[in-house]
A and B are shown apart, each in its own frame.
Chain A
Amino acid sequence: MITHYGYIDGSGEYFIVIDSDKCNGCRKCTEKCPQNALEMVTEFIDLEDKTVAAVSETHRKKIRYTCQECEPERNKTPCVLACQQGAVKCVWKPL
């Protein structure tokens, strides 16, 4: 499941996108995030509970500001680079 964490508002689109089918729960992205914006959550997939990375709830509604420093528009943020599975990417389109 590909989850888009973030929002579209009047100023553009801001999403950190995590593919829980690719995520192997290694936690590397959560360790590399300078803002501590990522956490591990339990997701219900194919009748099983799986531990996967997610953007923590407190940051979802202000992600534009949380992630700004890492320059997500280049899609080379520490979380993206940390993931060897290619499960994390940024969709950042400020207007």
Chain B
Amino acid sequence: MTELPKEQKEFWRWQEYHRVRNDRNWKNKDVITAGVDVGSVGSKAAIMIDGEMYAWAVTRTGSNSPDSAKKVMGMVLEDTDLKQSDIQYTVGTGYGRVNVPMANKAITEIACHAKGANYIWGPSVRTILDVGGQDIKAIHCDETGRVTAFLMNDKCAAGTGRGMEVFADLLQIPIEDIGKVSLSVDEDPPPVSCTCVAFAKTEAIGLLRKGWTKEKVLAAYTRAMAIRMANLVNRVGLEKDFVITGGQSKNIGIVSRIETILGVKTLPSPNWREGGLDPMIAGAAGAALLGKALYLKSKGS
């Protein structure tokens, strides 16, 4: 009894990790700020030194927001030479933002995402699609990362990270492979009709019984999600410099279908596995940057 039977494996589980950028010289530390983004599914933290990303962490949100905030903050401080008390200003954001105990201020994730995307991809970014664990946000911003228009769809969990976790579990495909698998069909089948994740699951089971392959079911669901997301982006205003943030930015099946539907390529994502910034930390990064601005403002400079 060493290995779990296949049906008991946690196919939905994604990688939790933390990173410190020790490849640079961080000697002059004037302003040290942190951003803690407690999302519905993932908690993210970022530490910035003088407005440059120093360390970040990504973990799963538990049932308790303050504990999740403390956990991710503990993770981000690991392997750094900083202590909690070295951080001069902390901004809490995301779904659980009012429950971040170490935060000096809570700011909505919309403002933080735009600021963070502006940092990660540069000032040319105008349109941001954030596909979170439990909602989808379409944001339009200016060259400073200030939000100009915003739309959130949190009516249901379909087309979100949580919906994808449900499908990974149902089809027994590890969540990290789900994008690739959804693209392995020759042609996309018609999208599933249901937008609700509970009903989509029922529909998917029906299709599997009818003899559809896992790949085909996944392709149909991913396509339905991509269509929903594309609609939101169009409503808020699509521009050429378009990026996707949040957990689903790592789902190549979603990203490539949205690009096809909208006829626009997303700006290339930095590769977090090879030392680049992670599109999942846009909110935390933006929170840390706004924290720096607020800190300097409070000092009167």
Alpha-carbon separation in the docked complex, A1 to B149 (Å): 5
In the complex, chain A residues whose CB is within 8 Å of the CB of B147: 1
A9 to B195, CA, bound (A): 8
Q: Mark A1-42, 1 if CB is under 8 A from B, else 0.
A: 111100111100101000000000000000000000000000
Within 8 A of B (CB), among A27-82: 43-44, 46-47, 60-61
How long is the Cα–Cα vector from A13 to B195 in the complex, in angstroms? 14
Q: How far is the CA of A15 from the CA of B234 in the complex (A)?
A: 14
7 CB < 8 A contacts A-B: A3-B150, A4-B151, A8-B231, A9-B155, A10-B195, A13-B235, A61-B154
B154 cross-chain contacts in A, Cβ below 8 A = 60-61
Interface on B for A, CB 8 Å cutoff?
107-108, 110-111, 146-155, 195, 228, 231-232, 235-236, 290, 293-294, 297
Indicate if the CB atoms of B150 and A4 lie closer than 8 Å: yes
Residue of A1, A7, A8, A9 near B148 (CB, 8 A) is A1
In whole angstroms, what is the CA distance A78 to B195 when docked?
32
Contact B149 A4 (CB under 8 A): yes
With A2-B149, A47-B294 known as contacts, the answer to whether A61 contacts B155 (CB < 8 A) is: yes
Q: How many pairs of A and B residues are in contact by the CB < 8 Å rule?
A: 45
Known: A44-B108, A47-B294. 12 other contacts (CB 8 A): A1-B110, A3-B149, A3-B150, A4-B151, A4-B235, A9-B155, A15-B151, A44-B107, A47-B290, A47-B297, A61-B154, A61-B155
Q: Which secondary structure dominates where chain A touches chain B?
A: strand
Q: Which residue of A7, A43, A47 is within 8 Å of B293 (Cβ)?
A: A47
Chain A residues, CB < 8 A from B293: 47
Complex Cα distance, B154 from A43, in Å, reads 19
Residues of A within 8 A of B231 (CB): 8
CB distance from A91 to the nearest CB of B (A): 8
Chain A residues packing against B (C-beta within 8 Å): 1-4, 7-10, 13, 15, 43-44, 46-47, 60-61, 91
Given A8-B228, A13-B235, A47-B293, residue A1 in contact with residue B150 (CB < 8 A)? yes
CB neighbours of A47 from chain B (8 A):
290, 293-294, 297
A60: chain B residues within 8 A (beta carbon):
154
Bound CA–CA A7/B66 (angstroms)? 30
> Complex formed: what's the CA distance from A13 to B235 in Å?
10
- CA–CA, A44 to B195, complex, Å? 32
Question: Which of B107, B110, B232, B297 interacts with A8 by CB under 8 Å?
Answer: B232
Min distance, Cβ B42 to any Cβ of chain A, angstroms: 22
User: Closest CB of chain B to A49's CB: distance in Å?
Assistant: 9
B146 touches A46 (CB 8 A): yes
Q: Which 8 A-B pairs have the closest CB atoms?
A: A4-B151, A2-B149, A1-B147, A7-B155, A61-B155, A44-B107, A8-B231, A3-B150
Using Cβ atoms and an 8 Å threshold, which residues of chain A touch B232? 8
Chain B nearest CB from A5 CB (Å) reads: 8
Q: How far is the CB of A87 from chain B (nearest CB, A)?
A: 13
Closest-by-CB residue of A relative to B106 is A44
Task: A46 to B293: give the CA distance in the assembly, Å.
Answer: 10
B151 neighbours in A (Cβ, 8 Å): 3-4, 15
User: In the complex the two chains form, is B294's CB within 8 Å of A8's CB?
Assistant: no
Q: Which residue in chain B gives the minimum CB-CB distance to A43?
A: B108
Question: CA separation between A90 and B152, bound complex, in Å?
Answer: 16
